[in-house]
């Protein structure tokens, strides 16, 4: 017998867990036997390890199936047409979010070159930049020289039909190309124009170059990250870019909703620095409350004890006890009941005051126990705990599998491409992975035909270098 576990959206095909007579059959064959279309399966996991579809199952094996989130389901933004004039990360991440939810995103790229992230390698998959592949699914690529008169005419037709125009050139570049905001709005009053930049379309920072590291530093996040007394540390992902893209996508959807009432589009000025300041949250509240300038605290909480990272026997875990009940459960689970009789640890205020005495006692006990065992013990005691996972552990985590947070698509050059999945689910208008990250100019003829160009006209545009 083989144990089969269906995760995420694959559960529509039957019981989440079942045992079937499938010893000696491959994972792909089992999927077919269950009536699950191959395109809906993103990954096969056997006994905790990701495998290819041709692996043969043995008696007693557990086969987990992860959803590909693929198919033609209409997303919440179906019918919304987006002209994507972005490159690198903040802009493409914004349009990725729109595309995942069903928008038709037409990515405009420079003929012969394209988005510079196409060249950001290694790593690459069969010569295709992994960086580019990660943030450009569900889009159509059109090559168009916006300095060429015929290229400008193509953009005019796209804008006339668009719901949204997104760009992240340096401020002022789109206007110098002949498309200032007032002209775009005159061409299409319903269009929403979203500018994404480091420091805004006007003001003292408009001409400054903005890269993720620079903005993480200027926005205050790096002043709060790292060990006390140590050097500033950037977040390990390009979050200044990604947060700007998320806020821009949110603003676009808000503007689309406003258009339902007014019938008019509007102009959005989304900035990387704005996203960073918005993230300051409780630390900004502290500063505004009493003028204190927060400093790096490492992996501890200034106002809650214990709330920090601990070294286990074979790795690290995070433990959070925000009240007395949780601290009591923690002590019981770790066989440290004597701490509950110590007046120094009677309440959170006392624990903060006597942090230096309490933490070594917890470190000694947690450090003697394997990471997995600590997590099991504390979860059973309903104490907030979690392992610090590397990416191999993240994508093997049962919660990540269950939620379908690995998305895959078949690329004509790179082959099967994996990327982080879509982080939210909508019950009636689910997001989906419908298209592979496009080849440069893959959809030029298709889109131009939709715009009314004839085959002969498209051939002339290509011969003249406009596309």
Residue 363: pLDDT over 80: yes
Task: Find the mean pLDDT for residues 208-237.
Answer: 95
Residues 305, 348 contacting (CB under 8 angstroms):
yes
Mean pLDDT of 262-278: 98
The alpha carbon torsion through 341, 342, 346, 350 (nearest 10 deg) reads: 180
Q: Which residue did the predictor score with more confidence, 18 or 444?
A: 444
Rounded average pLDDT over 395-418: 89
User: Cβ-count burial of 204 within 10 angstroms (0-12 exposed, 13-18 middle, 19+ buried)?
Assistant: exposed
Q: What is the mean pLDDT of the chain?
A: 93
Please say if the pLDDT value at position 131 is more than 90. Answer: yes
Q: Among the ranges 207-221, 391-405, 406-420, which has the highest mean pLDDT value?
A: 207-221
Say if CB 310 and CB 316 are below 8 A apart: yes
Q: Where is pLDDT greater, at 387 or 14? A: 387
9 pLDDT exceeds 80? no
Answer yes or no: is pLDDT of 69 > 60.
no
Provide the percentage of residues in the chain whose pLDDT is more than 70: 98
CATH 3.30.230.10 given to domain 2-67 = no
Average pLDDT over residues 214-219: 97
> Rounded CA gap, 402 and 380, in Å?
20
Summarised one tens digit per residue, pLDDT across range 72-89 is: 457 899 999 999 999 999
The mean-pLDDT minimum among 94-103, 138-147, 280-289 falls in 280-289
Beta strands 62-67 and 41-46: pairing type? antiparallel
Q: Between helices 272-279 and 239-262, what is the axis angle to 10°?
A: 100
Residues classed as catalytic: 241
Contact 165, 194 (CB under 8 A): yes
Would you say residue 263 has pLDDT above 90? Answer: yes
Q: Do residues 168 and 134 touch, judged by C-beta distance below 8 A?
A: no
The CATH label, of 3.40.50.10540, 1.10.10.10, 3.30.9.10, 3.40.30.10, for the domain at 81-280+438-461 is 3.40.50.10540
Q: DSSP character for 127?
A: T
Q: What is the pLDDT of residues 316-338, one digit of tens each?
A: 999 999 999 999 999 999 999 99
Q: How many CB atoms sit inside 10 A of residue 99's CB?
A: 28
Strands (E), 163-285: 164-167, 192-197, 267-271
Residue-by-residue DSSP string for 189-200: TT-EEEEEESS-
Q: What are phi and psi of 237, to 5 degrees?
A: -125, 155
pLDDT (0 to 100) of residue 152 = 98
Binning pLDDT at 50, 70 and 90, where does residue 42 land?
low
Task: Render the burial of 160-193: b for 16+ CB within 10 Å, e for the rest.
Answer: eebbbbbbbbebeebeebebeeeebbebbeebbb
* pLDDT for 43: 74
Q: State residue 38's pLDDT score.
A: 73
User: What's the residue count for the chain?
Assistant: 467
Percent of the chain exceeding pLDDT 90 equals: 81
Cα–Cα separations (whole angstroms), residue 97 to 100, 102, 269: 5, 9, 18
Per-residue pLDDT tens digits for 135-190: 999 999 999 999 999 999 999 999 999 999 999 999 999 999 999 999 999 999 99
**pLDDT at position 36:** 86
Taking residue 16's Cβ as centre, other Cβ atoms within 10 Å add up to: 12
Q: At what angle do helices 90-100 and 239-262 cross, to 10 degrees?
A: 50
pLDDT at residue 341, rounded to an integer: 95
Q: Which residues contact 40 (CB under 8 A, 6 or more apart)?
A: 9, 10, 67, 68, 70, 71
- pLDDT: which is higher, 382 or 38: 382
Of 127, 121, 131, give the one whose Cα is nearest residue 89: 131
- Which residues are CB-neighbours of 360 under 8 A, at least 6 positions away? none
Res 68: pLDDT = 62
Could you give the CA distance from residue 75 to residue 123 in angstroms, rounded to a whole number?
Answer: 31
Q: How far is CA 449 from the centre of its chain?
A: 33
Q: What mean pLDDT comes out for the span 376-400?
A: 95
Q: What is the pLDDT of residue 41?
A: 74
Superfamily (CATH H level) for 307-389: formyl-coa transferase, domain 3 (3.30.1540.10)
Domain ranges of the chain: 2-67, 81-280+438-461, 307-389
Residue-level pLDDT at 302: 85
Is the pLDDT at 49 greater than 80? The verdict is no
- What phi and psi, each to the nearest 5 degrees, are found at residue 367? -65, -15
pTM of this prediction exceeds 0.95: no
| Other C-beta atoms lying within 10 Å of the C-beta of residue 459 | 12
- Average pLDDT on 425-436 reads 89
31-35, 84-88, 220-224: range with lowest mean pLDDT: 31-35
Amino acid 134: pLDDT? 95
Side-chain-side CA neighbours of residue 278 (13 Å):
13
Q: Is 316 helix (H, G, I), strand (E, B) or coil?
A: strand
Confidence of residue 51 (pLDDT cuts 50, 70, 90): confident
The token pair that represents 251 in the structure block: 């603003």
């Amino acid at each position: 017998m083989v144990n089969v576990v269906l995760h995420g959206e694959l559960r529509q095909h039957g019981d989440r867990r079942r045992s079937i007579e499938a010893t000696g059959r491959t994972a792909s064959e089992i999927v077919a036997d269950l009536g699950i279309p191959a395109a809906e399966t993103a990954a096969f996991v056997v006994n905790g390890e990701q495998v290819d579809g041709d692996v043969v199952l043995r008696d007693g094996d557990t086969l987990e199936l992860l959803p590909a989130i693929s198919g033609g389901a209409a997303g919440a933004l179906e019918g919304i047409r987006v002209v994507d004039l972005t490159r690198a990360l903040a802009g493409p991440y914004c349009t990725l979010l729109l595309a995942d939810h069903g928008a038709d995103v037409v990515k405009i790229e420079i003929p012969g070159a394209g988005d510079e992230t196409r060249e950001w390698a290694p790593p690459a998959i069969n010569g295709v930049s992994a960086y580019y592949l990660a943030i450009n699914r569900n889009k159509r690529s059109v090559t168009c020289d916006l300095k060429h008169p015929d290229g400008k005419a193509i953009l005019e037709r796209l804008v006339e039909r668009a719901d949204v125009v997104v760009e992240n050139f340096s401020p002022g570049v789109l206007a110098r190309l002949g498309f200032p905001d007032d002209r775009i709005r005159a061409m299409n009053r319903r269009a929403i124009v979203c500018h994404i930049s480091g420091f805004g379309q006007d003001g003292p920072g408009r001409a400054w170059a903005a890269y993720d590291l620079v903005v993480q530093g200027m926005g205050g996040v790096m002043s709060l990250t790292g060990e006390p007394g140590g050097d500033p540390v950037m977040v390990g992902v390009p979050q200044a870019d990604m947060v700007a893209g998320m806020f821009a996508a949110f603003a676009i959807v808000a503007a689309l909703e406003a258009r339902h009432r007014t019938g008019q589009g509007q102009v959005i000025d989304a900035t990387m620095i704005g996203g960073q300041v918005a993230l300051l949250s409780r630390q900004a509240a502290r500063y505004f409350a009493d003028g204190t300038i927060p400093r790096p605290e490492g992996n501890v909480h200034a106002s809650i004890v214990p709330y920090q990272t601990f070294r286990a026997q074979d790795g690290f875990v995070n433990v959070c006890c925000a009240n007395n009940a949780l601290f009591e459960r923690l002590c019981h689970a770790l066989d440290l009941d004597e701490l509950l009789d110590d007046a120094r640890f009677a309440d959170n205020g006392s624990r903060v005051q006597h942090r230096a005495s309490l933490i070594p006692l917890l470190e000694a006990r947690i450090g003697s126990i394997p990471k997995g065992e600590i997590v099991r013990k504390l979860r059973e005691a309903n104490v907030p705990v979690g392992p610090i996972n590397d990416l191999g552990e993240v994508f093997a985590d049962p919660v990540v599998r269950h939620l379908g947070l690995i998305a895959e698509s078949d690329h004509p050059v790179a082959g099967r491409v994996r990327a982080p999945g879509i982080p939210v689910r909508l019950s009636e208008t689910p997001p989906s992975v419908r298209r592979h990250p496009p080849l440069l100019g893959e959809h030029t003829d298709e889109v131009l035909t939709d715009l009314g160009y004839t085959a002969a006209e498209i051939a002339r545009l290509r011969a003249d270098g406009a596309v």
